[in-house]
Structure 1
Amino acid sequence: MATATCQLTEEQFQCSICLEVFTDPVTTPCGHNFCKKCLDQHWNDTRVYKCPNCNQAFHSKPELKVNIFICEMAQQFRSRARGSPVQMKAAAGEVGCDLCLEPRLKALKSCLVCLSSYCELHLQPHRSVAGLKGHQLSPPLKDLSERVCEEHNKPLELFCVRDECCVCVFCAYRGHERHRVLPLEQGCEQQLTKKTDEIQWMIKRKETKIQELRSSVEANNKAADSQITTGVKIFTALKECVDRCQEKLIQEITRRRTAAEEQAKGYIQEIEQEISELKRRCCELKQLSQCDDHFHTLKNFSQHGSAPETKDWKYVHVYEPKYAHIVVRTLSDLEQDFIKNTKHLIEENLRSARIHIKYIKLDSGTVHPQLAVSDNCTEVQCSSEKITVEDNPHRFDKGLYVLGTMGFSENFYFEAAVRGKSEWTLGVAQESVTRKGDITLNSENGFWTIGFRKKTFYASATPERETVPILQPWNL
């Protein structure tokens, strides 16, 4: 005997007056059902015998009796509702039961074999029927159609390891027959393990990079502290040197000024003595002029009237010392003293740089056609004619340049000998620099260079070329 399972919803046993499950349900002549108490109360309030649903009028109050069948069904529904979880309607955005009629209840599970979603009631066959118990259930899923093979209309229940895609049973034998195929669960575990390992490897690599950066920061801090200490010593020595030279300058200028003052004071004192003697003679002459005895006056005039001998001051001067010369000489002494005190530092820095010495070989694939590279790729010189070479994207076509074969991402040091050149350029460049057309050598374009142009040495590390005065170098 076959048994049909149908879904009974609360709306089917709901009184339209109290909106609750029927209590003592009665049926009107028009066929609608209500709670007996609700319908009696409705007719008592309105005093008109009409059906609350369809408004069909009755000439007299119908004799109503409790519908035993509906009453038993309502009691069964009420009992079952108490013993099972409350079924909610599927809200917007939620997965609804595919077997429910409107309104659809909220799905409890989705079957990945049947490709349908079920509420609690319609899920019972998957829990009780032997042929359905083996189906794989999952939380409610949307768009189950995505889990169906478009070509064979079969569930995608296998995973191809090579192509990393989900396939159906037919796909496994038609198109993926030579590939390793796993059940979805194993494939999922394998992919999760693979991706987890990849992420762990990436984490480890990044942690290593962090440690590398921290070590670099620590090394930079140590180098910075060392250079600060060295710089403080240098500038302290420089300030002491400046103070010494300043004191020496002041003492020398003061000494010369004092000498000039003493010389002038000596001249002034000598002239004042001569003035005093001349004033004394004037007084004597004045006394003679008051005498009435002219004979006596003339007789004494020969003794007291003549002027005393004095020094000729016409060509006597106090010359101003050459103070500017003293300043220039002091600055020259300061420069020599500074060079002497910093020479050991320059030599020490050069020794430190030579620890990172690299031996450069030139890349003949980048050289301009008018430059000739030696056989051992360590020398380059200009050629009077262009050399026939194969063009490639890495070769300079306008600028007379050539790059080295090695690249560096850390400290390095190299020397280059320059001989008999009126113009030259030397430096470093990024690997990605432009090789074609006109090129401006600056850091914005990836070049850091020093060179010699128009009898001037320059160092260019910014987009605006900076010219710095340096001694003519032979080894760079």
Structure 2
Amino acid sequence: MASANTAWSEENFSSSICLDSFSIPVTTPCGHNFCRTCITKFWDGEVQYKCPLCNKIFNTRPDLQVNFLLSDLAAQFRTTAQVKAEDEEEYDVKTVELGKIVSEDQQMIQEIKGKIKEIKDTVEMNKKDADRELADGVQVLTALRRCIEKCQDDHNQMVKERRKSTVKQAEGLIKELEQEIEDLANRSSEMKQLLHTKDHLHFLQAFRSLKSPPPTRDWTTVEVRPPSYVGTSRRSLDQLEETLNMEMKKLPDGELKMVQEYEGCDPDTAHPRLIRSEDGKQLHDGEVVKKLPDNPKRFYFEVHLKDKAAWCLGVAKESINRKSQITETPEKGLWILYFNKDGLVFRDHPVVRLPRRDELQKVGVFVDYDEGLVSFYDVEARVHIYSATGCSFTKPLYPFLGPGRYNYEGNNSDPLIISPVNQTD
């Protein structure tokens, strides 16, 4: 079916009698179109039957036929006109709505670009970390390989020397035994010859000299005792461990001045509500605020989080303010990872929101004093969480941590617990 051309004017689909869109259009013999009702009423009031447009007179009243093509086109035109009119009503509203969508899309594009940059920066930072780790690994593993090779050489040399000594001893004894065999064989040969002599005088004289056997060694107590190799490898490994420890001490430790022996720490804490265990390895929220004297050694570093609903941990400069509320940002001398029901963030201006890690059980904090780097790691998953770069360290750093409120989210009573670092990892 042909569709109405929306470029046509309204008069193309209007009756010249009622001036409205065609309603059941019919065609006169002269070729003009009118609404069937309109032309019927027009002729009912006239004496002659003529065309309202060209005034052509018909001798008899024409038998009018419906123009179905024009009827369809007129119907489509009416529909198009109605839709167009309803659109003169929604245009302004849709224009404003469309502008808002465009603005939101642009904002989303900028956010996505920012996320792409963040990901690229993370990848670049990870690449630098990986390159540095590879270089350090080559250095450490090369030294380790040399130590192992030397240990292996020493071990092999010791075993070979013991084996050589045993072989030499056995060969000496065998040579001595073979000599005695030779002496006994010679004596036996002489005695056999003597048995066949008919000279009795010679027999008796020779018998006296052959009767006494040649001097021999008491071999019943002589034996070859190979050295025991049991424990040789163990002693070599112990020596290797001692050598590796000496090599490890030669590696640069950096200048991170954190507490290593918690048993001797000051029992005071940085917040008057916190309670630390006697061994210095657990930290609770005591709910009750206590009055504590000023103490510059109140910061402790924890890594084991258990199933806590809220916590924070990181490192702090020695010079931070301890007498009033602390702004937990690098600008104020604190590098803090913070977690609660809203997610995981790094405290900065603005805060850095990180992917949520509900499975996070243990956090490792690594500080490269010279490089100005503070990195956080998911110890169990062996995944890098976040790194703060370009930090400026001029004074000692100390661990900073907070166990969160005791009743946060209904129950947050579990302590933060110090976990010994596994050197083999």
Q: Which structure has the larger Rg?
A: 1
Provide TM-score, normalisation by structure 2. 0.50
More strand by share: 2
Provide TM-score, normalisation by structure 1. 0.45
**Structure with larger RCO (C-alpha < 8 A, sep 6+):** 2
